[in-house]
Amino acid sequence: MNQTFEQTGAPVSLIWKEDRLIMLDQRLLPESIVMLDLFTSEEVWEGIHSMKVRGAPAIGMAAAYGVVLGAKAYGAAGAEGWLKHVQSVCAYLATSRPTAVNLFWALDRMKKRAQELIQTGTVEDWDAGLEQEAIAIQAEDELVCKSIGEHALPLFEDGMGVLTHCNAGGLATAKYGTALAPIYLAQENRIRLKVFADETRPVLQGARLTAFELQQAGIDVTLICDNMAGMVMSKGWVQAVIVGTDRVAANGDVANKIGTYSVAVLAKAHGIPFYVASPLSTIDLNTPTGADIPIEERAAEEVTEGFGKRTAPQGVKVFNPAFDVTPNEYVTAIITEKGIIRPPYSDNLAALFKANL
């Protein structure tokens, strides 16, 4: 087994190698495992935009490495010029996708580090400093995900059915995932969970990625179409829902993959707790409510001819938002690396950040 694979057998999304970012092409999973060598910030932008890498934390990590590659392309000396160049690389990478706040969080962190770095040293030192920062972002993400899993684990008991939507697993992060972290830790602790993975139309992250990585890890996973979640809940097979998120607003409204809102409403109707696993880097106190979260709309072809087969009439009108917002009243708890946050979210999220600044 080489560095491309975790011990679970699931491939790693991003590997940094001195002069390049090696990116797993997640669009080709589970059929093919293709690792791409990226040498420029433009290639990283394209990788994020086309969803070769996806999932909020992984998008942030990829962007940080994109800054490193972009900075290395600067051909002159001088702190001011280098800093301006890094800032423009960051501004460019920020246009790759709009919803996951981890992208902007990681780019802000890289810009701040660049500002600090130019106080001493040479261009080589500053480039090396940015590289260290990007590596640190990835290393920290693994610890953050593990900690989310540890905080969430007591919410799960042996034999429970757990439903998840989209992919918030190892493929979306450095390791473990956010929503899938407690599921991996449960397995390590011999707590048997039965996972239902929504297939997640139209890009099928649940079918192609969640079902794949859980199956590789030997976890009991059953794939269902999105429109089967209510039926599975009505049968009493689901005792908890856990999902990841792309951005949590200051009032606890949660943006996540399209279809999450429907799952939350169904969970409430069936008296099932609805948990959101979120690193602090995904909580955006500068976004007051869910209505202020920019929601990405993607190409109509994802709906009309996803995966190469036309399934709708030519010329039909299509609405294809990639995310929706679940209002905070449907969210039972938000599980972070610092602990479990419960309503009232406006107060408790603000207090969480105050305590962890």
Q: State yes or no: residue 328 binds ligand MRU (CB under 6 A).
A: no
Q: State yes or no: residue 205 binds ligand MRU (CB under 6 A).
A: yes
Q: State yes or no: residue 245 binds ligand MRU (CB under 6 A).
A: yes
DSSP type of residue 206: I
Q: State yes or no: residue 55 binds ligand MRU (CB under 6 A).
A: yes
Cβ-closest position to ligand MRU:
244
Give yes or no: 37 in active site. Answer: no
295 CB-contact burial (10 Å; exposed 0-12 / middle 13-18 / buried 19+): middle
| Nearest one of 269, 248, 258 to 323, comparing CA atoms | 258
Among 322, 325, 333, 352, indicate the residue that binds ligand MRU (CB under 6 A): 322
Please say whether the beta carbons of 63 and 44 come within 8 A. Answer: yes
Q: State yes or no: residue 57 binds ligand MRU (CB under 6 A).
A: yes
Q: State yes or no: residue 246 binds ligand MRU (CB under 6 A).
A: yes
**Residue of 246, 253, 284, 324 with catalytic role:** 246
End-to-end CA distance of the chain: 40
| Least Å from the CB of residue 113 to ligand MRU | 23
Distance of CA 291 to the CA centre of its chain: 20
Among 172, 207, 272, 352, indicate the residue that binds ligand MRU (CB under 6 A): 172
| Interacting positions 90-149 with ligand MRU (CB under 6 A) | 100
| Least Å from the CB of residue 316 to ligand MRU | 23
DSSP string, 7-71: TTSPBPSEEEETTEEEEE-GGGTTT---EEEE-SHHHHHHHHHTTSS-SHHHHHHHHHHHHHHHH
Of the candidate spans 6-14, 64-72, 173-181, 224-232, the one that interacts with ligand MRU by CB under 6 A turns out to be 173-181
Show the tokens assigned to 327.
Answer: 């209002």
Report helix, strand or coil for 283. strand
Site residues for ligand MRU per CB under 6 A: 54-57, 100, 166, 168, 172-173, 177-178, 205, 244-246, 256-257, 322
Q: Residues with catalytic annotation?
A: 246
